[in-house]
Amino acid sequence: MAFTIAIDGPAASGKGTISREVARVFGCAHLDTGLLYRAVGRRMLDGEPPIEAARALCAADLEVEGLRTPGVGDAASKVAVIPEVRAALVDFQRAFARRDGGAVLDGRDIGTVICPEAEAKLFVIASPEVRARRRYDEYVTAGESVDFDRVLEDVRARDERDMGRADAPLRPAEDAVQIDTTTLSIDEAVATAIAAIEARGGVRAS
């Protein structure tokens, strides 16, 4: 049965971590849709026109290393304001969402635009300071030298771009369950998400 779980939220709210665990618990496939925009953003940085890059995107583009860098995240949110780029990525995401065995997709517009009919929708948030701290810690762990204030500035700029764009802005679907992870541990956030999905009819894999 195709059971779709849509998980949206701003950068570093914890949606990716929740999505991976939810996919494991409910035994379904997971698509991090941010990677699609990051792959297009990366190709734009390499000099390719973003609309052509989005139309030519293939699975191999999502497996290459280096999509998680701050520069590529910034480029992703810039190409994500282009309606033709978004349009080129819709069919792939919808086909993924309706696959047999169910699917969890995380991003910005999954519950509102890509899968408005999703059986379960979550909207994950956290304060900008906490989100910037999480990203900062990730960069430090990866051995990158970054300035915290700069990371916080980037988080705020990306929020503004994602919430302010005309096409598919970041906002909760009316029927989404909101989870604020500001003061939650990963385990608490995951448990809250699982309970919300079960309340919408999700059945754990045995």
Strand locations in the chain (E): 4-8, 29-32, 103-107, 120-125, 177-180
Nearer to ligand CDP, 4 or 17 (CB): 17
For residue 166, the cross-strand partners are none
Chain contacts with ligand CDP (rule: CB under 6 A): 9, 11-17, 33-34, 37-38, 73, 76-77, 80, 107-109, 134, 138, 158, 162, 181, 184-186, 189
Tokens of 67: 């999509």
- How far apart are CB 163 and ligand CDP at their closest, in Å? 10
C-alpha distances out from residue 70 to 5, 38, 41, 44, Å: 27, 10, 11, 15
Say whether 202 counts as a known binding-site residue: no
- How far apart are CB 65 and ligand CDP at their closest, in Å? 15
Say whether 12 counts as a known binding-site residue: yes
Say whether 11 counts as a known binding-site residue: yes
- How far apart are CB 12 and ligand CDP at their closest, in Å? 4
Say whether 157 counts as a known binding-site residue: no
Nearer to ligand CDP, 185 or 206 (CB): 185
Nearer to ligand CDP, 9 or 50 (CB): 9
Which is nearest to 124 in space by CA: 162, 65, 176, 169?
176
User: At CB < 8 A and 24+ separation, what contacts does 180-189 make?
Assistant: 180/125, 180/126, 181/13, 181/14, 181/124, 181/125, 181/126, 181/130, 182/125, 182/126, 182/127, 182/130, 184/14, 186/14, 186/17, 189/14, 189/17, 189/18, 189/124
Say whether 9 counts as a known binding-site residue: yes
- How far apart are CB 105 and ligand CDP at their closest, in Å? 8
Nearer to ligand CDP, 145 or 206 (CB): 145
Say whether 83 counts as a known binding-site residue: no
Nearer to ligand CDP, 2 or 186 (CB): 186
Using an 8 Å Cβ cutoff, are 124 and 172 in contact?
Answer: no
Phi/psi at 188 (nearest 5 deg)? -65, -40
- How far apart are CB 76 and ligand CDP at their closest, in Å? 4
Binding residue ranges: 9-17
Binding residue ranges for ATP: 9-17
